[in-house]
Amino acid sequence: MNIPAAALDVDPDLEPDPLFVASLREARWILLMWLSCFVWALTVCLNFGYPDTVDPLNFPTVFGIPAWVAWGIAFPWLIANVVTIWFCLFVMEDADLGETPDELAAANSVTEAAEGGSRV
């Protein structure tokens, strides 16, 4: 596949939209958090959820639930909740998305009314 040379030329003064940059940064955080919880849960559940032998009298539990469920499912879930709350409060930024068409129409009608009424 040949790409024309003109398509590869990028304006060096062109900067990405700050809203896009912020959303990309936040998406990386979310993906990293999801991936780390996924790897943790998969590793713990596979290693401790399928023992070679099961002794019902000496089965490891944490607060009455199987230890592999507590450490493989509940623990990353609680950590993910704590990190999500921290992320939402301290990392995510609020951004101005611009004006909606309704806001633009309202602003235009206010401007027209201030200029002396409707135009014919």
pLDDT value at residue 117: 55
Radius of gyration of the chain (CA): 27
> Any idea what DSSP says for residue 57?
G
Tokens of 8: 């590869």
Tokens of 38: 């996924």
Cβ(95)–Cβ(88) below 8 Å: no
The 10s digit of each residue's pLDDT in 24-54 is 999 999 999 999 999 999 999 999 888 788 7
pLDDT value at residue 116: 65
The 10s digit of each residue's pLDDT in 63-114 is 989 999 999 999 999 999 999 999 999 988 887 877 788 878 887 887 777 7
Average pLDDT, the chain: 84
